[in-house]
Every structure is written in C-alpha cells, then in structure tokens.
Amino acid sequence: MTKTILTTSAGAPVADDNNSISVGPRGPLTYDNHYTFEKLAHFNRERIPERVVHARGTGAYGTFTLTKSLKDVTIADFLQNEGKRTDVFIRFSTVGGGQDSHDFARDPRGFAVKFYTKQGNYDMVGNNTPVFFLRDPSKFPDFIHSQKKNPRTNVPDPRMAYEFWANYPQALHQVTILMSDRGIPASYRNMNGYSSHTYSFWNEKGERFWFKWHFKTNQGIKTLRAEEAAVADPFGAQMDLVEAIDRGDFPSWTAKVQIMTEQQARDAEFNPFDLTKVWPHDEFPLIEVGQLELNRNVDNYFAETEQAAFAPSNFVPGISSSPDKMLQGRLLAYQDAHRYRVGVNYNQLPVNAAKCPVNHYQRDGAMAGLSPAGGNHHQTSEANYFPNDRDNAPKPDTSVAEPAMPIEAGAWLDRFDTGEDDHYTQAGNLFRIMTDDQKQQLADNIAGGLGQCDASVQQRMLAQFEKADPDYAARVAAALMA
Ligand code: HEM
C-alpha cells in the first residue's frame, strides 16, 4: 500500500471519508458506521493530561560534544573521551501556565536535556536559573498553587504569589531573579540552563565529587522588558526555535561544571545542598567541558515533545544524586507523573527509549510492546523473574555499584526548621551587581504585582528587601508609591 491511499487505523483502504452510511440522503445513520465511529471515538481520546507544571514548551534534537574529559571524577561513558558525541533531546518550557498560556510570561524557563548514552538515558532536568524558590519538597505543591490561577476566579492572581513569598523568605533570591530583567527571556535560544541542584560524580576509585551543571548560551543573553512582553506573539518563543533550526541556524550552549570535593563540602560555611543558594564562582570556578547543539526539529509535536518524559532520577553509572532535600523529592515525583500522564510503558516510546539494550524483568501493562520486535527493549525473553538459572538472561553488573554516600556523623532523624538561615545575602549580592536600569526594572516589576496586595504582605516583602539591601527596599517602596 502506498502512502497516498487513506486507510483505517488497522490499515484497510477507505473508499469514502466524507459521507457516513445513511438511510437515504437525509439520514438517519445506520448501525454499521463503524468507520465514522472509529474516527469519533479516537478523537474523544486525543488529549492526555498536560504536565502539572511546565505544560507549555517546545523540544528539539541535537548533539552534546565533550571537549574536556571528566574521567578523573566520573566513570560516565559519555564524559570520558574528548570529541565524543552524544545524541540529546531538549525541551524548553515555561512553568506555571497551562498549555493555553503565553510564551513570554514572567516565569522561570525549564531546560531539560535527555542524553541518550550507551549506558542508558541521563536526564538533566534544570531551569534557566541557578537557584529555586524552595528547599523542602513538601512546599512544592503549595508554591505552585500560589503561581497558578485563583481557584475561585480561574484568573492568574499575583496576590497569591506574594502572599506565599511574604510567608516564605527562603524564596527571596529566586524572586529577585524572576522579577529582574532576566525574568522574561527573549527566546529559548537566548538563555542559560542550570542543573540548579548539586549532583554527584563518582570515579573508578570510588571517590565522590559534588557538581553543578551550567549551560551558557552561545547566542548571548537577551531579555524582554515587561512592556515588550505584553505585546509579544504568544507563540513567539516556540516559533523562534523551530524556525532557527529549520533554516540551519543551530543554537548552541557551552557546557560547564562546578566541582566540589567531599572535604570542601564539609568545610564550606554555607550548605552546598541548599537549592536557594549558588556556589561562589571564585571558590568553585566554572570548568568548560562541552558543547550542546540543537540541530533537528521533531516530526510530530505530540508524539515526541508532548510525550517526552524527563526524570532527575535517570542517572547513568558515574553520576548520582546528593543530599539536597528538593532533589530527593524530585527523584520520586517525575516517574509517578509519567505513569499518570503518558502511561506505564512511557519508556518504550521512541523519544524516551534508550538507544542501548534495555533488559529487565518488568512485564506487560498498557501499550507494552511499543518497542519493535528485535529492538532495544528485550521484554520478550523467556524468563520473567530474577534470580533464575539462565545464563543468557539479564543479571546485575556489580562493576557499576555506586560508592556509599556519606551522611553527617551522629545525625538525628527529625524535621529541621531552617528558618535561622541567611536568605538575604545572596539576593542582596545579586541586587548590588545590577545596573541602575536593572535595579529600576526589578523594583517596577515587583511593584506591578505587590501593589495589588494588602498592606501586611507589602510590609513583610519590604522587610525582606531591606535585609537584602536597603536600596532594594527603598526602590520598591518608591515604585509602590508611584
Ligand atoms: C520538589 C520539587 C519539584 C517537584 C515535586 C517537581 C515536579 C515536577 C513534575 C510532576 C513535573 C511534570 C513531569 C511530567 O509530567 O513529565 C515537572 C516538570 C519539570 N520540572 Fe519539576 N518539580 C520540582 C522542582 C523542580 C526544579 C527545582 C526544577 C529545576 C531545577 C524543575 C524542573 C522541571 C522541568 C524543566 C520540567 C519539565 C520537563 C519537561 O520538559 O518535560 N523542577 N516537575
């Protein structure tokens, strides 16, 4: 059958796609219109749940090229040999809005990279900001609710966001980034990506190193002022990426890492696993390790980008997690979301499938067998249990055992209130390196939302700005009065 003959979903040729079978030209329809019904029934099932966060986004394929070997710190295969190229899929997104929202919302941007390595898929699920609003995962649903639409009016409501932030000063650093000129990237090509979290590398000697990813845009940072964003094309960021790749203007990022030894982590005066803080660049310099390039658009947005499933727990030997409490929460959250949103066999879909053999004893479930027979997913082997007596069945490989992770000696199991910590110095440092224009944009952007809040929320926010820098508070106070 050629591609030009219309068929049913079972492959049978269709003679007439315009007219249902009816009793005479005026109807009614008869019971044997199974073809019409197939179309209507499939249409009813076209939607799957959108991502609960990061619903609006766009993705593309590309390549990561290693320019500096990291073999001293990790056994990860794709980070061994300079010049090694690894296929990637990247999805960029906004966070709070649904699929029907705007590309140029003032919002962090997701920066999720799937590396298809020969040891399995490694996902770097980061944002365009080096820190985050929270440091305990139990606050994530509360925080996201405060960013979403008002539950009564179904309209975005900045009063909710500031009410949360007034009660949660840990967020001040990220709030300062979000409300600054960096808060609205001019395109996905003109922003950086960060792991934000601290992760770990481990090498063949079993030594562990803490690290963070930084992906610096080679297109330069470009941002939109609030008034430019207000009149921008709602689909502008998505179109910009697709069109750039279509015309061969491939966007790229320089990949860098910051690395910290276990001893340095023990000696550090700050908590290196606190997601609301950056690591000082003078103490932990950025080391350039590779180039990330996007060079191929998807063929089908839904099949590939919408069904792409990124998980911070997708590690490969040589890369692992850290004690960061937020990261620990994320290690469980994503696969749970994928099973609900896409289905239990989401890892068999081409965009998610590893490009190396996949051998395990999980079986069946909705849509099992999506991977073609003879493909990488060997779910058809005879044994479906382990241990077994078969020489040719999959077995664990002890050579990739992760070294033990240290915890603080004598640590107690409890709920730790971190309210004593310094939420202000790094936010103030960021404010102090801004130009006068950037400081004014920051104050004006904050006043736009904070001006709608009640006096108590305004006072508590001003008190936070004051602790970061008195000039920060003075500028916001003046903008509120203007
Ligand atoms: C405890 C904190 C967090 C929780 C529980 C959480 C949960 C989620 C969930 C459920 C999704 C949707 C997944 C899907 O349906 O495919 C998601 C998407 C995403 N999250 Fe988080 N998240 C957290 C924090 C973060 C942080 C700190 C970052 C960045 C550093 C981040 C970056 C992303 C990105 C980029 C996506 C979109 C991935 C894609 O393009 O498919 N999240 N998150």
Q: Are residues 111 and 196 in the same domain?
A: yes
- Find out whether 301 is annotated in a ligand binding site: no
> Which residue in 102, 121, 127, 173 is the catalytic one?
127
Enclosing domain of residue 452: 425-481
Select from 324, 353, 382 the last residue of a domain.
Answer: 353
The secondary structure of residue 415, as a DSSP letter, is P
Select from 298, 318, 353 the last residue of a domain.
Answer: 353
Higher-pLDDT residue of 201, 409: 201
Q: Is residue 396 part of a domain?
A: no
Can 300 be counted among the known catalytic residues?
Answer: no
Give yes or no for residue 95 CB within 6 A of ligand 1. no
Select from 311, 330, 353 the last residue of a domain.
Answer: 353
Q: Are residues 87 and 222 in the same domain?
A: yes
pLDDT at 227: 95
Q: How many CA atoms lie within 13 A of 100 on its CB side?
A: 5
pLDDT at position 119 over 80: yes
The secondary structure of residue 13, as a DSSP letter, is B
Q: Is residue 407 part of a domain?
A: no
Q: Are residues 325 and 458 in the same domain?
A: no
Q: Are residues 292 and 197 in the same domain?
A: yes
DSSP 255-308: EEEEEEEHHHHHH-SS-TT-TT-PPPTTTS--EEEEEEEEEEE-S-HIIIIIT-
pLDDT at 417: 74
Q: Are residues 126 and 255 in the same domain?
A: yes
Q: Is residue 336 part of a domain?
A: yes
Q: In which band, very low, low, confident or very high, does the pLDDT at 381 lie, cut at 50, 70 and 90?
A: low
Q: Are residues 203 and 311 in the same domain?
A: yes
Q: Is residue 155 part of a domain?
A: no
Number of domains in the chain: 2
Q: Are residues 225 and 323 in the same domain?
A: yes
> Which residue in 54, 214, 338, 377 is the catalytic one?
54
* Count helices and strands in the chain by DSSP H and E runs: 13, 10
Can 145 be counted among the known catalytic residues?
Answer: no
Ligand 1 nearest-atom number relative to CA 196: 30
User: Which residue's CA lies nearest to atom 22 of ligand 1?
Assistant: 330
Q: Is residue 298 part of a domain?
A: yes
Q: Is residue 342 part of a domain?
A: yes
> Tens of pLDDT along 441-477?
999 999 999 999 999 999 999 999 999 999 999 999 9
Phi-psi map region of 281: left, alpha, beta (phi>0 left; psi -120 to 50 alpha):
alpha
User: Which residue's CA lies nearest to atom 1 of ligand 1?
Assistant: 137
Q: Are residues 431 and 339 in the same domain?
A: no
User: Which residue's CA lies nearest to atom 35 of ligand 1?
Assistant: 110
Q: Are residues 325 and 450 in the same domain?
A: no
Q: Are residues 318 and 221 in the same domain?
A: yes
* 422 touches 463 (CB < 8 A): no
* Mean pLDDT, rounded, of the chain: 95
Q: Are residues 103 and 215 in the same domain?
A: yes
* 207 touches 82 (CB < 8 A): no
The CATH number covering residue 299 comes to 2.40.180.10
pLDDT at 476: 98
Ligand 1: which of 111, 121, 125, 322 to mutate, judged by most atoms within 8 Å of the beta carbon? 125
- Give the span between the Cα atoms of 372 and 201, in whole angstroms: 34
